[in-house]
Homo-oligomer: A and B are copies of this chain.
Amino acid sequence: MITPEKIETEFRKVQDHICTFLLQETGDTYREDQWEYTSGNGGGITRIFSGDVIEKGGVNFSALSGELSEKISTQLKAGSDRKFYATGVSLVIHPVNPFIPTIHMNIRYLERGGKKWFGGGIDLTPYYPVKKDIITFHRMLKSICDAHNPQYYPIYKKQCDDYFFIKHRGEARGVGGIFFDYLNTELDKNCAFTLDVGMGFNQLYTPFLKKYIHHKYSSQHKDFQEIRRGRYVEFNLVYDRGTLFGLETKGRIESILMSLPLKAQWHYDFSPEAGTKEAELTQYLVPQDWASME
């Protein structure tokens, strides 16, 4: 039977597994902060990467418990029992090179009001997408899902498209991935699937690092990357439930906002010239069935 202690142990392994990979693959280093959750019990370990490959990247583990405020409890329709326990690993990597996509991964386990469940997901935000790479990414995700249940990928892929959508811009945050929540049918199996998603990160991100780590880019590419990172900021601050939950539960601000890029730009009424590589991105920001493409 799974227990919070076992889950925490496994989640810490996921964090270590990913950090070891990133250290080796990029040559960058990280700074580690161990912190306590001052609004309740528990805490976490935040590791922030920076260097020649990763401009700003955070890999965070946390395990904490506390009590929801009345406000957020009402928003979540959480009932009268406001106690919660949450453990998870979350990661956002913003690379220096505009040809390497930004990636986000999260796995989590929650307990609240007698309920227990797993959630998580991985999604990709490219600046200069290459169709073949996006197809490969989605097929890998599909095979991670299929090993557990062939119904997972189509459902979680759609949930990801629905979730990572910037409503006011009418466009997706990126090219999607998978997103799942409230997995509580068989906790042992749900846990195994969630861990496979977390452990799958290295394999999923490797092709992008390998192919584009030395790709040449100009200051124009960099500007476009920073403009698109503005959209990332818009999504995270306006819509992201994890971010808003973190702010509402008075979590550790620096660990919550580590997902924001080092730099972002907002130009009034910006849209790239037709026919450019930059204009092409728009076509990728419409949900589509990548895994079935040739």
Contact = CB atoms under 8 A, between A and B. Distances in A.
Interface of A: 31, 33, 48, 50, 56, 58, 167-169, 226, 230, 233-234, 237-238, 244, 247, 250, 253-254, 256-258, 260-269
Given A167-B247, A247-B168, A247-B238, A48 B253 contact: no
Contacts of A266: 56, 257, 260-264
Given A260-B266, A264-B263, A253 B33 contact: no
Given A237-B233, A237-B234, A260-B230, A268 B254 contact: yes
A56 B253 contact: no
A226 to B, nearest CB: 8
How many of these chains are in the complex?
A: 2
A268 B234 contact: no
Nearest to A236: B237
A263 B258 CA distance: 18
A37 to B, nearest CB: 15
Contacts of A56: 266, 268
6 contacts: A33-B269, A48-B268, A233-B237, A237-B237, A262-B267, A264-B265
Contacts of A230: 260
Nearest to A168: B247
A253 B267 CA distance: 12
B268 A258 contact: yes
A241 to B, nearest CB: 13
A247 B31 CA distance: 37
Residue from A31, A58, A260, A264 with most neighbouring chain B CB atoms (10 Å): A264
A247 to B, nearest CB: 5
